[in-house]
Amino acid sequence: MLNLLTPIQETRAYQSIFAEGKVEGEAEGEAKGKAKGKASTLKRQLTRRFGPVPTWAEQRIDAATVAQLDSWLDGIFDAANVEDLIGPESG
């Protein structure tokens, strides 16, 4: 009797793991895209309201979580300046 091996890509375990990884990757990409879009919107609104956004503020915005960006977007109408919204420049 011949013993034929099934290519790993055709096994159920491989396909299941691959599908799970694909879903996780898509979710991560979607989250990064959402954060990037919110950061862009916040910088645009800050520029419109207060003038050019300092480099340190742009860096803080780019590193922020979606929840933090949402908080800053909600607070932009109450802030007196960039520092009032996202905090003072550190360093």
Provide DSSP, 19-58: HHHHHHHHHHHHHHHHHHHHHHHHHHHHHHHHSSPPHHHH
Mean pLDDT of the region 56-77: 96
Mean pLDDT of the region 48-70: 96
Q: Are 61 and 39 in contact (CB under 8 A)?
A: yes
> How high does pLDDT run on average in the chain?
87
pLDDT above 60 for 38:
yes
CA angle, 58 then 50 then 86, to 5°: 45
pLDDT above 60 for 1:
no
The span from the CA of 76 to the CA of 85, in Å, is 7
What's residue 18's pLDDT?
73
Structure confidence at residue 3 as a pLDDT band (50, 70, 90): low
